[in-house]
Structure 1
Amino acid sequence: MSASLRRDRRGPTKDQPCAGSPPRARSLPVRRAAVMRTAVWLAVAAGPLALVASCARPDTTVRTTPAPVTRSAELPAPSVTPAGYAELVLGLWLRGGGQDTTAADELHTMAPLVPMPVWGAKRPVVERLAAVRTARQAKNAWSITIAVTFKEPAGDRTDATAAAPSVRYFALPVLAKDAGSMPAFAVPAAPMEVAAPRVLEETATPYERQVPDGSALASTVAEFLSAYLGAEGGVERYLAPGVRLPALAASSFAAVQVDELRAVQATGGRPGQDGTTVRVQAMVTATDAAGGQWPLSYALAFTARAGRWEVTALQSGLEDTTGKAKTASSTAHGAPSSSAATAQSVVAGEAAARTWGITR
């Protein structure tokens, strides 16, 4: 036992650490902390260095400044329509120059700045007024041109005014703007007589090809128009499947005669293959029950199906060669077709069908 005690009191051996000295593993946390501090300082230093490097590097990107957009000064859409007011004022002005004191009083209330005319022995008798041009001059300023139809010219028939035209034109300045729930109008000056509008030359028509008399197409056109204008039965049997055409409010014609029939496409009048389309314009004379003759014209589109022509569109007659209307047209659409011409006719009929009430 004493030998054992003596053995324990001896110094450490070669493989045993001295008492009180830290083990080797305790130095790892110290090194890890040092590494982390170094990484943090490197990260902090990297920010300014990256900024300096980016400023020193030349920029190869070409930056363009967008050109300023120049927009024309467009006036907002007006919410007032002064044409009717101008017609009323001009009518009172023409009536108030005579013995119609009521018209003079109303004109003084509506347009106090407008002087009254003074007629002689023959005052003008107005039959009708109609606004033919509305020109917007500024935000709230308008110039309204009005056509006036007189029953007889002003002045004595024996003098020079006897040759005066029965239709004359006057331009009236009008100020108009919204004023709360109602518009406000003002006429700052008297009307001025102006020249008549220029008449356009006759425009070229796409209906250049004559449809043979007695052909299936000519017969279908005559029968359809006779039915549509009331001389015969209903029009349903002439319409393509799915096409609806409202009847006329008054069917007072006793007979319908086709005077001329022309087409856009070259056609012999035969239906041909299913899906074949043709557009025609018929000049007709409709005779009423009293013997009166009415010259009318109808533009129609037909599609061939099952060996017969069927009406697929009631048009305005202003459509171009592709079937698209140059102005607001009245078109029905119905039977589908594989041809491009029928597809164009259907597209053109979308808006126009709402105008005439033609539906599928």
Structure 2
Amino acid sequence: MKRARRQRKSDKKKQFVDAEAWDEEVEEPQDTLAAEPDETGWKTSTAHLSGITRLVRLGAWALVASGPVFGVLALLGSSGPAQGVTEPVAAATPASQTGPAGFAELFVAAYLQAGQGTERELAPYYSGSVALSVKPGTRTATQSTVIASREVQPGYWSITVAADVTTQDDNGKAKRVGVQYFRVGIQTTSPAGAGGTAKSAAATTGYAATSLPAQVAAPTALQPGALAYESERGSSSTDPAVETARGFLSAYLAGTSELDRYTSPGTSLQAIRPAPYTAVKVTGVRDDSPSSGQQKVPADGTVLHQLVQVDATDQAGSPVSLSYALTLKSRAGRWEVASVDDAPAIRASSAPSAAPHITPTLDAVAITPTPSSS
């Protein structure tokens, strides 16, 4: 009986030891603990590997648990501006005067044509009360153009229109009065590309005059600054530079030959087609050479600037006076045209000056305006 009890106690103790061995992984006998070192010189054991496994598992669970936290932090970090980074600023689009200018030009033409009883024709341009006393059709703008524009404030423009005015008397006889100048205030609701302040390109475009036109004085007439052509060449046929200019302009205006005969290699110029003139006569040449008596072509690469006056005969046989600014370059003992310049060359720091006063006559109406017939 006692032996049976001792046996049961022994079995229970053995089971308890086996359970502890299961949880605590009791070390193997000494002969299996020591492992042979691997090729790297490290020694491993079952207990060591078990600890590493636990650490790896804990690290993995820590990463899983911290994932949402890292996601929130990343979202908050991306929503704020980066430190030290300047955000680009969109460049402001300057307002264009094209739309207001065109509207003002149409308004002035309609205003000159309108008269008593036809004031409604101005309604598309000006919605204010209008009462005209001039007879309709008395004045007409045969041609007009905008010569000045200024944005008084955003979306509000001051436009000056020059109109070549013709009047008609009671007998129907027309008389050219001359160029007159009218200033108009134009307000717009269009986007900047059409003169307004709207930021959207799809914004509604609209224009309105704020009053009837105001006739104003002509712009001040000016004398141009000094030109850079100081040497007078005349029109001598013995001057190589003059002969090159004569041959080139004859081919350019009258189609007498190909331009390649007179131009530098690589120069891209085209003659006027169809030729508007039948003949070209050089009446004067000025250039920037140091001496007007120079006849010999200088060394290759020398540049010469010319201002050439010509009389070109049109298809009806009438002479037409024209001026051309040319750049010539020397090559192989001859002058060749390198370019037809956009404008005559002026001396450095040369500015225009006020022209002498001209008494207004019918021949000078483009300088001093004639009062309106109304």
TM range (shorter): 0.5 to 0.7
Q: Distance in 2 between matches of 1:115 and 1:191?
A: 12
Following TM superposition, by how much is the alpha carbon of 1:154 offset from its aligned partner in structure 2, in angstroms?
7.5
Conserved 8 A contact 1:173-1:188: yes
Aligned to 2:89: none
Q: 1:84 to 1:181 in 2, by over 3 A?
A: same
Describe the shift of the 1:182–1:303 C-alpha distance in structure 2 as closer, same or farther (beyond 3 A): farther
TM superposition shift of 1:186: 1.3
Report if aligned partners of 1:281, 1:317 keep a CA contact under 8 Å in 2.
Answer: no
Aligned amino acid, residue 106 of structure 2: L
- C-alpha spacing 1:242/1:122, structure 2 compared with 1 (3 Å): closer
- Which of residues 251, 269, 288 in structure 2 aligns to 1:227? 251
Matched, 1:84 2:102: yes
Shift of residue 105, structure 1, vs aligned partner = 3.8
* 1:168 has 2:183 as partner: no
Q: 1:321 Cα deviation (Å)?
A: 5.2
Contact kept, 8 Å, 1:286 with 1:295, in 2: the verdict is yes
Contact 1:256 1:285 in 2 (8 A): yes
Q: Distance in 2 between matches of 1:259 and 1:148?
A: 34
Higher relative contact order (CA 8 A, sep 6+): 2
Q: Which amino acid aligns with 2:313?
A: T
| 1:114 positional shift | 5.9
* Paired residue type of 1:254: T
> In the aligned structure 1, how far is the partner of 2:317 from the partner of 2:214?
43
Q: For the residues of structure 2 that align with 1:194 and 1:210, how far apart are their CA atoms?
A: 41
Q: Does 1:149 align with 2:173?
A: no
- Please say if 1:318 is aligned against 2:348: no
1:198 to 207, 220, 223: 220
Q: Map Cα deviations across residues 162-203 of structure 1 (whole Å, 9 max, x no partner).
A: 9x9422111011112425345321111111111111101232
In structure 1, C-alpha distance between the alignment counterparts of 2:250 and 2:326, rounded to whole Å: 14
Task: Report deviation, 1:156.
Answer: 9.7
Establish whether residue 124 from structure 1 lines up as the match of residue 148 from structure 2: no
Alpha-carbon deviation of 1:231? 4.6
Structure 2 counterpart SS, 1:115:
coil
Contact preservation (8 Å) 2:259, 2:270: no
Assess if the C-alpha contact under 8 Å between 2:126 and 2:212 holds in 1: no
**2-side partners of 1:320 and 1:86: how far apart?**
35
- 8 Å CA contact 1:114–1:189 kept in 2: the answer is no
Question: Which of 240, 249, 253 is residue 277 of structure 2 equivalent to?
Answer: 253
The reply on whether 1:95 has 2:117 as its aligned counterpart is: no
Identity of aligned residues (%): 29
Aligned residues: 244
Give yes or no for contact 1:121–1:155 (8 Å, CA) kept in 2. no
313-322 or 272-281: bigger deviation: 313-322
* Counterpart AA for 2:210: P
Query: d(CA) in 2 for partners of 1:77 and 1:177?
Result: 15
Deviation at 1:135, TM superposition (A): 1.8
* 1:122 CA drift (Å): 7.5
Deviations 1:194-220 (A, max 9, x none): 111110123211111012622111111
In the alignment, the residues of structure 2 paired with residue 218 and residue 116 of structure 1 have an alpha-carbon distance, to the nearest angstrom, of 62
Select 1:215's aligned residue among 225, 233, 239: 239
Change (3 A) 1:210 1:96: same
Say if 1:153 and 1:114 are closer, same or farther in 2 by CA, change over 3 A: farther
Q: Deviations over 1:95-136 (max 9, x none)?
A: 22156x4xx444213321262523148811321121111122
Aligned residue type for 1:77: P
User: Match of 2:328?
Assistant: 302
> Gaps spanning 5+ residues in structure 1: where?
1-74, 327-360
Which letter maps to 1:111? Answer: Y
| Residues 235/171 of structure 1: CA separation in 2 closer, same or farther (3 Å cut) | same
TM-score by length of 1: 0.61
Matching residue of 2:66: none
Q: Distance in 2 between matches of 1:181 and 1:306?
A: 62
**Cα deviations by residue, 1:233-292 (Å, 9 ceiling, x for unpaired):** 121111111111022143121110111100012251422211111100001110012112
Q: Is the 8 A contact 1:96 1:116 kept in 2?
A: no
Secondary structure of the corresponding residue to residue 108 of structure 2: helix
- The answer for the alignment partner of 1:237 in structure 2 is 261
Aligned residue for 2:162, secondary structure, equals: strand
CA contact (8 A) 2:282 2:308 kept: yes
Contact 2:110 2:122 in 1 (8 A): yes
Aligned to 2:87: none
Q: Is the 8 A contact 2:281 2:312 kept in 1?
A: yes
- Could you tell me how far apart the structure 2 residues matched to 1:109 and 1:94 are? 15
Mapping 1:343-354, distance limit 5 Å = none
2-structure distance, mates of 1:122, 1:183? 31
Letter in 2 for 1:264: D
> In 1, are the aligned partners of 2:140 and 2:166 still within 8 Å (CA)?
yes
